Amino acid sequence: MFPKLSNLRQQTVSTSTPVARSQRWATRLALGVAASAIALLAGCTHPAEPWHLTDVTGHLPDLEFRLTGDDGRAVSGDTFKGRTSLVYFGYTHCPDVCPETMGRLMQVLGKLGPDASQVRILFITVDPARDTAQALHEYVGAFDAQHAEGLTGTDWQIESLAKRYRVAYQMEKRDPNGNYEVTHSSAVYVFDKQGHARLLATDHDTPDTIAQDLRRIIDDHS
C-alpha cells in the first residue's frame, strides 16, 4: 500500500527553514511514494519494455476533481481528457522546487517536439490563499501558456485532492512581514488521455527518460 499521509492540513512549523531542507523534504516524500509504488507492483506482470518512470497503473485513482482554472472558469478532470496530463502540486511563491520542476517539464516538452501538442501540464496550487486564478495565469504563462494551466480552489478542495493522490504539504510559520513558504512533495503524476493514472516521475528522473515514457503513453491508443 502507499504510505498513509493523514495529516494533510496546513500546519505551523519552525521559522526560517533553509531551502536545502525544503528540497530534501520534498525529495524524500517523492521517493517514498515511488518506493511504495514499486513494492505494490512486485510480482505483477511487467510490460515487454519496462518503464523508466514508476508504473502506478491501477494503484492511483483516475484524474477527478472540480477546481477553478487560471482563466476563472470551473474545470473538472473531464475537461482535460483527450490529452496526456502532467499533474504537479506546487505554489507560485515557491523559491526553488516548483520553478525547477516546471523548468524540467519545459525541457520534456522540447524533447517531445510535435507530440508536445498532446500534453497538458496542470499546476495545482497548495497555497490557494495567495494563488488566485490571475496569479496562476501569470505564473504558468511565464513558462508555457500554450501547454500549462494553473488550477486553484477552496482549502477543502485542495486538501481533498491532495489526499486523493497522497500529496503532503504544510505551511511554514509566517515571518514578521507575513510571508511564508509551503513545504510540499514534488512528484509529477502522469495521466493518459482517458484520465487514468499511469506513471510517477520524481526529481531524479531526467527530461530524457520522462520524454521517452510520455511518447509511449501518447502513442497508446487503448
Grouping H, G, I as helix, E, B as strand and the rest as coil, residue 202 is coil
Beta strand 119-125 with 84-90 is parallel
DSSP conformation class of 105: H
Quickly state the pLDDT bin for 173 (edges 50, 70, 90).
confident
In a domain, 6, yes or no: no
Contact 124/49 with Cβ under 8 angstroms? no
- What would the pLDDT profile of 156-168 be if each residue is shown by its tens digit? 999 999 999 999 9
Number of domains making up the chain:
1
In a domain, 166, yes or no: yes
In a domain, 2, yes or no: no
Statement: residue 30 has pLDDT above 70: no
Contact 162/182 with Cβ under 8 angstroms? no
In a domain, 12, yes or no: no
* Structural domain span for residue 49: 19-219
Residue 118 belongs to a domain with what CATH number? Answer: 3.40.30.10
In a domain, 26, yes or no: yes
In a domain, 10, yes or no: no
Give the pLDDT of residue 49: 84
In a domain, 180, yes or no: yes
Determine the Cα–Cα distance for residues 102 and 64; give it in Å rounded to an integer: 22
Statement: residue 113 has pLDDT above 50: yes
In a domain, 13, yes or no: no
